[in-house]
Amino acid sequence: MDIAEYFRGKRIVITGGVGSVGREIFACLIELEPELIRVIDNNESALFEMEIEYRGNKGVEFYHCDITDEREMSRTFSDMDLCFHCAALKHVPSCERSPFSAINVNIQGSEVVGRVAIAQGLEKVIFTSSDKAVNPTNVMGTSKLMGERLFTAMNFLRSKKTKTVFACTRFGNVLGSRGSVVPLFAQQIESGGPVTITDERMTRFVMTMKEAADLVIESMMLARGGEIFITKMPVLKIVDLARVMIARLAPIANVSPSSVETKVTGSRPGEKLWEELSTDEESNRLLESEKFLIVLPSGHTSEQRQEYKYDWITTQPSTIIYHSDRSELMSDSEIDDMLLREGVLPNRLRNRALENL
């Protein structure tokens, strides 16, 4: 079964559907001929703009709804098949300053999503997590880790009447998403600098918006219950990203690259110098495919791991520890190639950069 066949005729709900990743998932899904996509978000302005953009499409509905409101969630989840749970507070500094909001949205909101999905009889729900959930050092990562644990544990709530499958995806930094480092650096370069870096040693896993959406969508197809799907992705040094962006974008902004300075500002509260996508403990129940690492639910023995099979991909047991400080770094040319992919740079800058190739 291919992706188009799997999603054709499905009724799908996306929480946080006007966010960067949620919107990209929507854009991919709408090409696969589902019967209905419901977009749920509490950002009224962005929701209105997206509704205007897709006006006339009978297979799309938009609802203003907070994921912690169980009554409204029950209404919007009614008669649906699948859910992509993307709604969350995702920025480390914001969650450090507003920890109760992070707990409310990322933990209690995920609990509501799970309860409602079970009550409404959805087939599958995918939780979008973060590398910051691995050995977390901040409120955001800790709340995401608890969301993962909730979704894994909710698989034990299945019964003869409700058989909802819960699984997670875990990925790194989505380049070009709102609040990410790429649009910030682009703005600073256009202003003549300086480009602000918190620490020159900092490394990060990175992926494009399209890669993130493809991961989540394929995970929905593969999920059998309780897994965490991790996309294999490249690693870069933030200081290397800044240098390549200055070289690429400064001439476009009529700024001399040599005049754009970088300024080290120091790590922010809760911020890591590196990121992790899997742990020592998880390596005992890890499968690896060409594109994915798959963390099986706790309790799987080595023998069970050998027997765990998926219909559409080939896997084998693995013990890899996915750590950005131990991975090969992207070269300048690889970073430059990634910058020019669709959805990474702001469109106006990407178009001008492509013209200058």
Catalytic (active-site) positions: 132
Q: Please, is 72 exposed, middle or buried when counting C-beta atoms within 10 Å of its C-beta (0-12, 13-18, 19+)?
A: middle
Residue 276 structure tokens: 């992790």
Positive or negative, the CA dihedral 173, 174, 179, 185 is positive
**Cα–Cα nearest to 57, from 40, 73, 92, 33:** 33
Element (H, E) at 63: strand 60-64
Question: How far is 233 from 92, CA to CA, in rounded Å?
Answer: 21
In degrees, rounded to 5, the angle at the alpha carbon of residue 39 between the alpha carbons of residues 140 and 148 is 30
Q: For residues 171, 174, 39 and 70, what is the CA-based torsion angle, rounded to 10 degrees? A: 50
Strand partners, 195: 262
Question: How far is 244 from 229, CA to CA, in rounded Å?
Answer: 30
Residue 289 structure tokens: 């495919």
Question: How far is 47 from 53, CA to CA, in rounded Å?
Answer: 10
